[in-house]
Each structure stands twice: as C-alpha cells, then as structure tokens.
Chains A and B, each alone.
Chain A
C-alpha cells in the first residue's frame, strides 16, 4: 500500500508543480509548453506564486498524504490519513475549479479550463484516496480493485451525472422564468399528452410514452427471440452456411442510420417494389401501412436483432456440454434437455439481450423519424422539444425523465427475473462433452424464423448496394459511378489528393471511432468485472448509473454535453475529444452488459485458484478471466467501434467544423434528397466496418473453452 501511495504522491506533485495546469495552445502532446512554461502554459505552482493563490489548495492533499506516510505509526492510521487527505485534496481542487471563475460566479477571477496538470493532480489524489480505502480493508484490501471502482465512479460522475444535471434540472423550471419548483412538474409529467391511452381504448392515438413502451416491448421480445434462434443455429446445428449467416447478422448494426428506413420504403412503401408487385398481381390496394408502428418495429427488428445475437452467442456457447450430457444420460430427451437445462442457464444472456433491445428501441431516433408517420415516440418528441419551432427544454427534460423511468423499470424487472441463482458453467474442470443437438421441432423453428429473416436482410442490402450505383434510386436505373466519384474521388498528380467531398469526415470518423472503441471496451469490461466479481456498498446504484447514458436519447446527451463542457473548468466543445468521450460513455453499457453475461458463466473457483496460487486480482483478471472473455471483448470492441461510426443523434450537436462525422454528412444529404451519394457513402462505411470487424475477429480469435466444441449428430 505504501509503495503505491508514494508513487501517486510523486506523480501528483509533478503534475501540480511542473505540468501546465490550464489548457495549452496547440495541445499537450505537441510539447510546445516545454519551451515556454509561463503564460497560459504555467503550472499550478507557478500560478499559485503569481496571483492565483487558490491553486495552493489541491496541494494540501499531497501534504496530508506525505504526513500520513511519514508520521503515522500504524498501517491503519496511514490508510485513514491517505483516504482523508486524498478526498480533501480532490474536494478542494473541484471546489476551486467550480466556484472560482466567471461561470458560476461565486468569486469572479480568471480561472480557465483545466488541462494536463490539473488532470494528473486529480487522478493522483483520487488514487491516493482509493489506496487509503484499500488499506482500510475494503475491496479485500486490494488497491487495484478500489482504484478501479474509484476511477469508474469518478468518470461516470463527471461525464454522465454532471452534464445530465444541467438538463434534468430544467424539468422543474417554472413558466415565465420563475425559477425552479415542483409545482408544475407533476401535472406536466402526468399529462395525457404523454400518457394518453387512446389507441388501446379505441379513441384516437396514444401518448408518446405509451407508444415508446409498447414499441420497446415488441422490439425487445422480437430481437431476443431472433437473436436466440441465430445463436442456436450457430452453436447447436451443423448448418452449412454459418459464415455467410454471421456476416448477415452483423450487417444491420454496421449500417448507418436512415439507410434501412430508406430501403424499407423502396420495398414496402406505397410506391415500393413489393407493394407494386402485389398491387399488379392481386389487385391489392397500395397503402401506407409502413408509416407507423409496423414500419418502425420492422426497421428496429432489422437494426437490433444483431445486438441480441452478439450478447447471446457468447452465452449459448458457454453453456457446458457436460450438463447437457448429464441430462441426456439421465434419460431426458433433447427438448427436455433444452427446456430444463440449457435454457435456464441462458437466462442472464436472455435478460441482458431483452434489456438492451428495450433500451435501444425506446432511445432509437433515426427509424421513428423516417418511418414513424403519425406514430410519435419519446425520442422524436424530445428532439423536437429541443429543436422545434418553439424550443421547450423543460418539456424535453420531462420526456427524458419519462424515458428514464422506463429504463429503470426494465432494469429492475431484469434483475428480478435473473434472480440470485448461479449461472457458472465454465468451471475449469474437465469439460469435454458434446453439446446436445436441438430437438427437431426447435431446430426447424429456428431455421424457419432465422433463414427467411437472413434472406430478407440480404435482399435489403443488395438493394442498398444497387441504389448506390444507379442515377436515381427508384426512378432512373442507369448504371453510374457518379455518386462514388463525388464522395471519394482521388486525384493522383503531384502526390495523392483526396478531393472527394466525403474524405474529410471519413477520416475523422475512423480516427475518432478507432480511439473510442478500445477505451469503451476497457471501461465497459472493467465495470462488468467489478459488478460480477467484487462486492462493495452501493453496487446496485453503481450498476444502474452505468446504464444511464445509454438510456437517455442522444439529443439530450448532446445538449447536456454542450451545457456542461463549453465553459471552464472543463472546456471540451469543438474538439475531437468531446466526441470520443461521448462515444465512450454512451456505448460503454453494451460492454458492461455483454461482460456481465459472459462473466457470470465463469466459475468463481477459477479466480480463487488463481488468487491462492499467489496472483493478485489484476493478474487474475489478465491471465485467467480475460482469455475466457474473447467473444465478450470482441463484441464490446466491435459494437463500440461501429456505434461510434453510425450514431447520429448525440453527435449532431457536438460535431464541429474541424471534426465532422460521417453520419452528420449522410443525414445532411438525405435531408436534401441526395440519396445516391448518401447510400454510396453508407456502402463505403459498411465495407470499411466489415473489414475491420473481420480483422478483429482474426486477431482476437475464439476462446478455447474445452478441447473441442462438438455438437451431437442429428
């Protein structure tokens, strides 16, 4: 404990005394500040000596820590001292950053946005405090565990709670600028404009809350079933074209928004190909059935089934064949084995898939916008409460709270269903049976549901590729390369010049996503590890708080981020970093869910064995747990990379002229009716992402759970 504390003490003092405390011109990594360490590049020590005395405050934490290390007589006293001085230092640092400055106006003084020095100091103080906590015996006395909890709690607090308070507090705004109060909140929150149930009782249409709820349930149920069917085909049958199927199940998640909606309109819209065919063949009337609940649901099924599949495949694969063999040895037939052994063991996966499907569906923005018709859901209502002809942030905040209520309910329901049972089947014991094959009824059900769905997806994508090569999709089908040339032209003359309109945003998007993906996966899986393997107070609240940013519509997050991070102490707007951060904290929950599902299958005895052999928890995590988590890591990496490329609602507000993203470019073109170039760009993105995913799959590879994964012959 002492060595770690001393290390962080040294790091912290360096950060406070030498590194530039505030934002530096040109960025930290250009090292321009090394040449001139005064002016805006001044360190806290320098500034404290020259007119900013409040910068002495954070250093008090280091003084306290040094005293506890040097003077305290017992281990326990040192630990208490470290905890107290770390926490006090952090509080002083945050206090001076928030209260002194021009924004919150307690004490007006020049106190610009914090930079590298402040960041290092804060991190050091945090780790000094957590090291102290571990010294008090918490987290099994493991500084790694307490440090990890501390780091994640701090990150979630800064990048989820801090911005969200800015927007949620507006729900309590009184009309006419009368400050805040509860007086108007309840009537507005419970208003029939939100909760109307006219569509059920038969008197008109429902409120957006009811619509979102029903849509979320249908989508979650549908995607979980489809995801399970695909997972079963993959792991429990000898279906031949598994590879092709795998690609098809990934395609929809890597499709930029609006594209699936557009393709569906061209197939099933009033003037769509299939509608025209039925009208011609059977004389059916051409209707606009697609615009509304059915269309949105169909598009969401296409978009989100792969997420359920990604969560479920790891879980279905992990169910131990020995259990299935044992069941069959005890004379159970295949159906009974599935129903009473395999299926119950898949519960954590099913529950997590359902939860993700539900949350994705109610927070989805692109599909309802394109196909919603007069079917209003919360996410679109929130968007237009912010950007509509009358901006009503209070209404947006109230609708967001409604949405969060649903998320919380779904989360609790999921916890209740999974319960406290033990789902570990990967135990490290000899485990070399064969997976039970599916009984014929179930096998054929899986085939009948999944294969037409796969075929449908294929048709849709063929159509999208086709659309990018024709002049005017739907009307003039002359073959042309024009759309690709406009977006991705390269001139080779005196070097290579990327002259196409799309190159800029393409490179930015790839860079930002490539940086965000591993960080997202790391934060997500680390959180999952803490949740599954460690015990600490406030764990449930911690778990829910990591889901928050995912459940809130991107529009709200986007505006909240501007409100929180456009002003000192943390000034990030207009940079690429704010995009990276928003992606990490928005997509982290998928890593968390996938990680939890996969980790709850790993028997604790594996960890215990490792710990008994003298490894600490960090080594155990790296050498024992991580290698068994291959699919979960892959899923987290893939998903966060892809989501960073395809997400749209949060980035609309955060993209800046210097850092434009592909989706915002595509949406602009779609709004302008230039579908050709939008689809061409989308196709390029799809191919790029597919390449990356396949490459990642090759690198990370499959985990070896047992000598061979075999499936019993039919």
Chain B
C-alpha cells in the first residue's frame, strides 16, 4: 500500500514540471554558421536591449519545424540560409511581410524582398564555384578545371564530388544554374556527362568542399564562401569561378507568421540589414556578400563584380512545380544514367 502511494507520488512529481511556461523574448532560428549566429545575437542585444535566444538549425530542418508548428509558432524570426526555403515558406504563408524599408539595400536584396511580397528580405549572396585540391591534382597529373564543361572531361573520371539536389539546396542551385546557362536539354546532357565522373552524390551541400579540402576527393562543387573558409583554414585548395558564368543563392531573413513579438522581430530584421551589423561578420570569417552596400567585406571574399554571373531566375526555378519536374528529370537522366564509379 505504501509503495503504491510512493509510486503515485513519483509519477505526480515528475509530471508537475509539465506546467512550465516560456519566458517572453525574441526567439531566433539561425541557419548561418554558429559563430556568426552568436555574434549577431550578442550585438543585437547590446544595441536594442531586447533579450534574444538563438539556435542554429539548417534550412531544411527549420522549414520542417515551422511547417509542423504552423498556427502556434515557437519561433519569431528565421535568419540566414539559402533563399529558396525562405521563398517556399513565404508562398505557404508561414511567414509574414516585415514592412522593413529595403531601399538602401543592393538590387538583388530588393528584388528578393519584392518577389516574396516583402516576406523574405535578402541579406547576403553566395556564389556557386568549383574547388580542387592542388596536391591530389598534382599527384594524379591532371589539369585544373576552369569551366563547367571541363568537368565532363573523361580524365576526371571518379574525381568529382557534388551534392544530391534532392537533399541539398546547394546542388539544386547548381542544377538550375546549368539549365539556365545551357538550356534545359543541353544542361541535362552536361549534367549526365559530369555525372559519369562523379564518385559520390553527397547528402549535404557543403560536404564536397570539405572532402576536397581533406584530400578525400579531387574536385568539388559548392558555394565559394565555404571554399574561402576552407582555404583560409590552411587546406591546399584553389577556387574557380566557372568561365561560362555561374549562379548564386540569396540568403534571407523572414518573420514567422503568428509571432507574438512582431515589434522585436521587426527590429531584428532592420538590424541584420544594417551596415554595422553586417560588417561584424568579418570578425568570425563570414565570406558571403552582404546586402548593405556600406558593409565592409574581406579582401579574399568572392567579388560579384569580378565573377561572370547569370541572371538567376528565382521566381521560375524556386517554384515547387519546376523544382519537382527538374528533380524527377535529374533522377531519371543523370542519376539513373549511372556513372557513379564506386559503390
């Protein structure tokens, strides 16, 4: 009898903790590098006095979470990460227009904001590029690639790594870039030719760059700002801006639909597009291109003026139906065509 009561008491005590409510402050999900997330939150707190709780999650994870939480969100703002998921969130009404003035921002930031109906404000640009490991390339006696078409050369068989566009936004940007550069049929043919040289379609978009840096792979495709980071860490790599021109992603910040902290959330958006906030990125090695023309950048960061860029059509290639069609075609014509040399 006593034991029965003890059992009950334990159950009760354990359960009573259930009534824990949350304190009010700004909850931010950040899809940038951890150090950059922490620094921005710290600076924002100093600047505005608003208490910020920040957590880092990848864009896919964040989108899945805000979808599941729709109607009763636990997150106020989503900052950083590639623009496509932000655009999807905007089209699904998971985010709301921030009403922040973006007229002082660079053109691509303004057009991103316009395209999403003011829901996703562009904060940075990342350029697509090619990375190769100088040591492995020399060991194998290969020429470095300079263009997208070079990647289809037979001597690179088994030397190239790229992410799977079905799991990685980076790789989808690459697919859409090649389709826009060469036209859809020609683009898929090139992708299939490159596919014959690919040793692994990685899950994560940044994995090919990292594998290349460590000599696990010879040539990788990904975003240049990640590659600059690897090079600065001391890995024997070189970065190539493809000669035909390249595509890019626009990172964004969005306010979650249903947030109880709209005012603070708006302040966050205003703050992250200001010049002093964006310039602080230099302290923690952020190498993408900031949206505020007055923000300072690292001399080693990719320079938009020096790289040939395509006119990336986010409206078309970000739309869910185009995406589904291109990915199905990729599965059938590129992945299905074989060419992955190692199992």
Contact = CB atoms under 8 A, between A and B. Distances in A.
A563 interface: yes
Contact of A572 (B18, B165, B342): B18
B8 interface: yes
Interface stretch (A451-459, A471-479, A536-544): A471-479
Interface string A182-199: 000000000000000001
B181 interface: no
A4 B1 contact: yes
B53 A475 contact: no
A8 B8 contact: yes
A610 interface: no
Contact of A26 (B3, B21, B27, B340): B21
A201 B165 CA distance: 28
A496 interface: no
Interface string B203-229: 110100110011111000000001001
A616 B3 contact: yes
Nearest to B14: A519
Contacts of B310: none
Interface in B62-105: 63-65, 67-69, 71-72, 74, 84
Contacts of A576: 20
Given A199-B343, A389-B172, A573-B74, A28 B7 contact: no
Interface in A421-454: none
Interface stretch (A82-90, A399-407, A637-645, A653-661): A653-661
A499 B286 CA distance: 22
Given A116-B18, A123-B8, A144-B4, A563 B68 contact: yes
Nearest to A289: B342
A120 interface: yes
B301 interface: no
A713 interface: no
A143 B72 contact: no
B216 A292 contact: no
A271 B58 contact: no
A388 B169 CA distance: 8
A655 B29 CA distance: 11
A388 B167 contact: yes
B168 interface: yes
Interface centre among A8, A147, A622, A657 (most CB of B within 10 A): A657
A127 interface: yes
A374 B74 contact: no
A591 B215 CA distance: 43
B342 A291 contact: yes
B4 A389 contact: no
Given A4-B1, A270-B216, A389-B167, A656 B7 contact: no
A604 interface: no
A618 B3 CA distance: 6
A653 B35 CA distance: 20
Interface in B1-47: 1-8, 10-12, 14-23, 27-29, 33-35, 38
A672 B199 contact: no
Closest 6 CB pairs of A and B: A618-B3, A387-B60, A657-B53, A271-B215, A115-B19, A562-B68
A501 interface: yes
Contacts of A269: 214, 216
A214 interface: no
Nearest to A271: B215
Given A119-B16, A374-B200, A519-B14, 12 more contacts: A23-B19, A151-B7, A205-B343, A269-B214, A388-B168, A389-B166, A389-B172, A471-B234, A559-B64, A574-B27, A656-B74, A657-B52
B71 A567 contact: yes
11 contacts: A23-B19, A120-B15, A147-B7, A199-B343, A270-B217, A291-B200, A387-B61, A389-B169, A390-B324, A665-B56, A673-B206
A107 interface: no
Given A120-B12, A389-B168, A669-B34, A653 B61 contact: yes
Contacts, number: 224
A558 B214 CA distance: 33
Interface of B: 1-8, 10-12, 14-23, 27-29, 33-35, 38, 52-58, 60-61, 63-65, 67-69, 71-72, 74, 84, 136, 165-169, 172, 199-201, 203-204, 206, 209-210, 213-217, 226, 229-230, 233-235, 320, 323-324, 327, 338, 340, 342-343
B34 to A, nearest CB: 5
B18 A619 contact: no
Nearest to A571: B72
A3 interface: yes
Contacts of A673: 206, 209-210, 213, 226, 229-230, 233
Nearest to B199: A288
Contact of B343 (A148, A292, A501, A567): A292
B18 A119 contact: yes
Contacts of B136: 271
Nearest to A151: B11
A141 to B, nearest CB: 13
B328 to A, nearest CB: 10
B74 to A, nearest CB: 4
Nearest to B24: A25
Contacts of B20: 23, 27-28, 575-577
Given A501-B38, A656-B74, A671 B58 contact: yes
A592 to B, nearest CB: 18
Contacts of B338: 204
A706 B313 CA distance: 77
B273 to A, nearest CB: 21
B11 to A, nearest CB: 6
A616 B1 CA distance: 8
Interface string A370-385: 0011110000100010
Contacts of B10: 522
Given A270-B216, A501-B38, A115 B18 contact: yes
A656 B55 contact: yes
B342 A387 contact: no
A42 interface: no
A24 interface: yes
B64 A380 contact: no
Given A387-B61, A566-B72, A616-B3, A656 B27 contact: yes
Nearest to B202: A373
A668 B206 CA distance: 12
A60 interface: no
Nearest to B170: A389
Contacts of A115: 18-19
B239 to A, nearest CB: 15
A388 B170 CA distance: 11
A664 interface: yes
Contacts of B340: 374
B34 A7 contact: no
A265 B214 contact: yes
A652 interface: yes
Contacts of A658: 22-23, 27, 53
A11 B7 CA distance: 14
Given A24-B19, A384-B167, A388-B167, A618 B53 contact: no
Contacts of A559: 64, 68
B329 to A, nearest CB: 13
Interface in A389-403: 389-391
B34 A574 contact: no
A417 interface: no
Interface in A262-277: 265, 269-271
